[in-house]
Structure 1
Amino acid sequence: MTDLTTIENKLQPRISVAPMMDWTTKDYRFFARLFNPNVILYTEMVTTGAILFGGANRHLDYNHEEHPIVLQLGGSNPKDLATCTKMAQDWGYDEVNLNVGCPSDRVQNNKIGACLMAEPNLVAECIGEMRNAVDIPVTVKHRIGIDDMQSYEEMLHFVDTVAKTGCDNFIVHARIALLQGLSPKENRDVPPLRYEDVYRLKQERPNLLIEINGGVKTYAETLEHLKHVDGVMIGREAYHNPYLLAELGQLWDLDMPNRFDIMDQMMPYIAKRMEEGAPLSIITRHILGLFQNLPGARKWRQALSGGNAKTFADVENAIANIKEAMQRTEDYLRDHPKPIIVE
């Protein structure tokens, strides 16, 4: 397990990749780690029921290279959450996070996610039990509000109630969630971003570690947020344009890695996963954005998501296919350099 002092001291500011269902799998997380050693990676949300009754190995497994890594739990039963948090610590996770932000109908029915903002005392009880079960940090990811609870004062009451447990780290998605009437996708885009509410929370509760989430797409935007809060969580942009993670390395004076070097490091992992029985397509879908915003990005995506990439069942042919795609992309980039824009 990564030393907690290292996480708290070395990894300031806290930059993280948001938990995203079906996206932040262990294959994506291994890939993402190659861009930046300091960014904090989150698992997909895993429900307590899935861990307790669906096979812990399946849901808790990760690659050692992914540290620092946070397990995000979904649930509202304090005892079950405490049990799963202890399992996470024993498994080697660096932190555990409680999901109080997901607006999906499926999780609402089981009292999981954003609907819990309406029950701050229950969330506090859950966090208290989780914290008492482990030595690693326990954090909360939540919205600025839900449905009829849209005011800053209501969010502050939620945070203050949970903070009484000793929890001092809150990741705040700067949109409300409308649990009745909007789909999960619409809840990521339709409600307006209210960054000022998150900034105000940090200003009024300076003793808490406040991270902001929602709509962040660039290094410049990240820098602007860091003037007001302690950390920034990036969601879909980190998936579609993973090289943003490399650009964020400037926060720690890290050298910018070469995209082709990253793929060279990825090759042994792909071979290992295929030898374990993983289809090539479930791995390559996570690396389609490697050349996002560069000439040749479309050709790279086509080479990996076309029929050929899916039909190479053996490791040797699969690796040869990816290397060929890399070479074609490199040749295209050389012949079609991205124009320099002078402002």
Structure 2
Amino acid sequence: MNKLTIATRGSKLALWQSNHIKAVLEEQNPGLEVDLNIIVTTGDRIQDRGLSTIGGKGLFLKELEEAMMRGEAQIAVHSLKDVPTEMPDGLLLAAITEREDCRDALLSEKYSNINSLPKKAVVGTSSLRRRMQIEKLRPDLIIKDLRGNVDTRIRKLKEGEFDAIILASAGINRLSLLDAVKHVYPISLEEMIPSMGQGALGIESINDDEVLKIVARLEDEYSRIETTIERAFVDELDGGCQVPIGVNASVLEDGNISVKAILGLPDGTEVLSDSKITSKKDYKSVGRDMAQEFIAKGAKELLARAEAMMGNE
């Protein structure tokens, strides 16, 4: 194989991610030519409504997957946090790259962290998970929906529409935006648990031996272990991208794994959370086991209420 096509969205972050993988693949495989097929997705076109009301993050993937099915591309590069836990027939999650910073970040022109925000400060996020955890930490804040690409979101912050916004640290780092705003505060895992897969890139591929062999070299062992736990936890709860679930697994220096999880109502009034240290050898089962512990405490009912609450907005 001497040519490979990547299906990608046209946003700045999506293009950075796809060009990054293109450069790595061309370096790893001398003589391989990699090009990009840029596709405008439904999620990119509909900017005036919250993601949870129009079908969630899967909207960013569907058209890319259809392009691969039609033979117009062999792989797609995704932020793994946007990739549903079930893959369509004929496509595989072929590689998970080394993880960037998995934390969320608070961006503000005036305030240096969550605690310094004044009462009734307006915080922008389109994520029910972030909203739930901010509401739990600071019920006195006003949370407003924030859509658009990273540049648009930062512009809205700078224009004074929001006192602070929350984005993924990984995207800020990848786009070199640390200096774009006066204060960038990485939110600790004790304050806010990230989304499953946050900070890692997932390489989705057609089921072709030659393509899979090329893509396999992008795989990172620790990222696969951590995100397998996170994705299994969400899958066991039937928690798509539209419900407020945070889960993070981190391989520790001693080889054990720290797992933290939270879920609840978007307004933060009711949440379930837990954390544990587990052995690396159990990584394939721990996500589902932890989800079952949450289910025994009423997680499914709580998530059903969360979904109903969003449906009424």
Q: Please state which band the TM-score falls in when normalised by the shorter chain.
A: under 0.3
**TM-score scaled by length of structure 2:** 0.26
Greater helix share, structure number: 1
Larger Rg: 1
